[in-house]
Chain A
Amino acid sequence: MTSAPMTSAPGTVPPGTAPQSAPTAGPTAAGRTGGGVAARLRRSGGGPRRPGRARRGALPYLLLLPALLLELLVHLVPMVMGILMSFRKLTQFFIQDWSRAPWTGFDNYELAVDVNRPVGKALLDSFLTTCLFTFLSVALCWLLGTAAAVFTQHSFRGRGLLRALFFVPYALPAYAAVITWAFMFQRDNGLVNHVIHDQLGLGGAEHTFWLIGDNSFWAMLTVSVWKSWPFAFLIVTAALQNIPRDLYEAAALDGAGVWQQIRRITLPSLGPVNQVLVLVLFLWTFNDFNTPFLLFGRSAPEAADLVSVHIYQSSFVTWNFGTGSAMSVLLLLFLLLVTAAYLLLTGRGRKDADAR
């Protein structure tokens, strides 16, 4: 250990050393060094560390213990339990003591995927609805977020205010915002029907139902895009700040117009960010529970029956936790598969870039 001379008393951090440069040499670098140490230890037979380090050895684990215990207790243990539950006949009679529920092998799964019976058919419909909903929502969020970020990349008057304003849907509590949308989509006293039917004169005098029937899909999509696009905006905005200004100046010198600059400099440099952004948006949207639950209450209309709500209903309305768990496990498998395939397909180019 180097005996560094005391340059400053503890607690008196020189101003300006604090977070501005926060995300530069981040966990990736740290992780790599960590791996190196582990590798070195393994080479020496995995034996005890050098005596000087022994005392410090336990400390990091102690510091991590609370976080690790809680994550295990609330996330991982229940997830393992959920997998076990999916192989049992866990109806309302066994909820007080689930260990007494009889094992049923793959019965719950057969029920969930048998599209010729109502349970499987409903799950398949819900799955397809969720796929369409997710695709449209992610595409629109990405498009709006990227466009807004590109348009606000170079400063103009009022940009700061506009940015703050765009974050509002992200900052608002989901229930407050979605309840407001539910009010706007009311048939008789909502804003949407007032504008469409009374003010624009579209769709005849008969007001549309937005929260029941097939239109509920579009109502839900609108709310979802409204709620999630600011996240895309936020991420893309941050990514754009990493593009050196010189690039644009050089391009402008060479006579590249603003559209060319966007096409040749801005969009290509977003590649790695988009990889993460689209994945995160996909996972959030596919698992969205809040939007349908807050808009429609405990029984979502068929056109807006997303998988999360579907599982929730099949579990807590019918109290058949075994089937609900089987559906959850299927959902988990699907998400893992899609995520893995996505990372494999998009990851290769990125890894090459990292290696260079």
Chain B
Amino acid sequence: MPASTHSSRGGGRRTRGPLDPPASFRALRAVFLTVLAAFTLLPVFVMVTSSLKPLQDVAGGFRWIPSGLTLRPYTDIWHTVPLAKYLVNSLIVAGTATVASVVIAVFAAYAVSRHRFRGKRLFTLTVLSTQMFPGILFLLPLFLIFVNVGNATGIALYGSRGALILTYLTFSLPFSIWMLIGYFDSVPRDLDEAATVDGCGPLGALFRVVVPAAVPGIVAVAVYAFMTAWGEVLFASVMTNDATRTLAVGLQGYSTQNDVYWNQIMAASLVVSIPVVAGFLLLQKYLVAGLTAGAVK
């Protein structure tokens, strides 16, 4: 350990660097963080180990150590619940909502970041405030709108994937716009002004200069939008039917039944979690910067 240059000041005891905490602090830190990590990882541990256990291990008393390992839950779950159908529905809904949300957010964020216009503050405030309202507030009316519009026009909105996509993309939109404004603001204005002077229209400047420079931010926003749609429960529980049921509702419905094959449901939970957790952890840096920008400022 390099001896601190300031050691003389604090007397003989001070042989550590100025920011090296004392042993008591380090011990407390180790204990606290270990306990917290255990609490955090406990469900992950249960999910992973249970998904590899034979049925008798999860039907009887809990066992820390499985009596045997098996991959059967990963194959059986496809027959226990219509997992393939749920998966396809979730992929279509979350995928489409993500693409649409990102495109719309890019336009809106560009307008706010690069243009001066009346009502800008009102727009940002309105969009952000929708984020704060509980979903239950507009669940009932939205449900009625979809039912009634469907009756009036003959288009089956209620229960359709389209209605769910429309709803989900507005969930991620406020935060996506907010995050992208931050990213676009950090792209120097001179660059797109130069591009505009060079003959690109304002949209040319957006797609040739601003968007390429903000790719990490846009990918982070896409991951956020996907996570939002992939994990949504409330609206999916009301606005889907047997044919359009998503993973969230399908698995929830099965898990609250009486006799549950817990090893299989754990296998399914693990499989549907891996893509979003991996995406989040890979883009952690950008997502964290975007998520925290608003609060820290």
Contact = CB atoms under 8 A, between A and B. Distances in A.
A189 B58 contact: yes
Given A27-B181, A74-B167, A312-B139, 20 more contacts: A23-B296, A60-B116, A68-B123, A71-B174, A75-B170, A85-B144, A97-B151, A162-B37, A164-B281, A173-B230, A177-B269, A179-B252, A189-B62, A194-B61, A248-B18, A252-B18, A293-B234, A294-B252, A332-B133, A339-B132
Nearest to A38: B118
A161 B6 CA distance: 32
A19 B216 contact: yes
Contacts of B154: none
The 9 residue pairs across chains A and B that have the minimum distance between CB atoms: A297-B256, A287-B134, A238-B292, A23-B293, A171-B280, A252-B18, A194-B62, A78-B141, A78-B138
Interface of B: 6, 9-10, 18-19, 21-22, 25-26, 29, 32-33, 36-37, 39-44, 46-47, 50, 58-62, 104-105, 107-108, 110-113, 115-118, 120-121, 123-124, 126-127, 130, 132-142, 144-145, 147-148, 151, 166-167, 169-170, 173-174, 177-178, 181-183, 185-188, 190-191, 193-195, 197-198, 200, 202, 204-205, 208-209, 212-214, 216-217, 227, 230-231, 233-234, 237-238, 247-248, 251-252, 255-256, 260, 262, 265-266, 269-270, 272-273, 276-277, 280-281, 284, 286, 288-297
Contacts of A24: 186
A287 B288 contact: no
Interface residues of A, number: 138
Nearest to A166: B40
Given A173-B272, A239-B296, A18 B216 contact: yes
B182 A22 contact: yes
A26 B194 contact: no
Which secondary structure characterizes the binding site on chain B? helix
A70 B173 contact: yes
A180 B141 contact: no
A325 B140 contact: yes
Nearest to B145: A78
A67 B256 contact: no
Contact of B273 (A151, A176, A234, A245): A176
Interface in A170-187: 170-177, 179-184, 186
Interface stretch (A29-37, A104-112, A115-123, A131-139): A29-37
A332 B138 CA distance: 11
A301 interface: no
Nearest to A175: B248
A56 B202 CA distance: 9
Contacts of B61: 188-189, 194, 198
A165 B166 contact: no
A138 to B, nearest CB: 15
B60 A75 contact: no
A273 B18 contact: no
Contact of A191 (B44, B46, B112, B133): B46
Contacts of B142: 74, 78
Nearest to B29: A151
A25 B59 contact: no
B135 A289 contact: yes
Contact of A252 (B6, B41, B140, B281): B6
16 contacts: A7-B190, A8-B191, A10-B200, A19-B214, A60-B117, A68-B108, A76-B126, A167-B288, A171-B280, A173-B227, A176-B269, A179-B252, A189-B59, A238-B295, A249-B19, A307-B136
Interface in A224-248: 226, 230, 234-235, 237-239, 242, 245, 248
Nearest to B43: A180
Contact of B289 (A19, A75, A152): A19
Contacts of B197: 1, 3-4, 6
A95 B141 CA distance: 10
Interface of A: 1-8, 10-11, 13, 17-28, 30-31, 33-35, 37-38, 41, 56-57, 59-61, 63-64, 66-68, 70-71, 73-79, 81-82, 85, 95-98, 144, 147-148, 151-152, 154, 156, 162, 164-177, 179-184, 186, 188-191, 193-194, 198, 226, 230, 234-235, 237-239, 242, 245, 248-249, 252-253, 255, 257-259, 273, 276-277, 280, 283, 286-287, 289-290, 293-294, 296-298, 307-308, 311-312, 315-316, 321, 324-325, 328, 331-332, 335, 339
Contacts of B18: 248-249, 252-253
A321 B133 contact: no
Contact of A183 (B46, B194, B234, B280): B46
Nearest to A158: B33
A13 B9 contact: no
Contacts of A75: 130, 133, 138, 170
Contacts of B190: 4, 7
Residue of A30, A238, A324 contacting most chain B CB atoms (<10 Å): A30
Contacts of A13: 187, 191, 209, 212-213
B237 to A, nearest CB: 7
Contacts of A59: 111, 115, 202
A168 B273 CA distance: 10
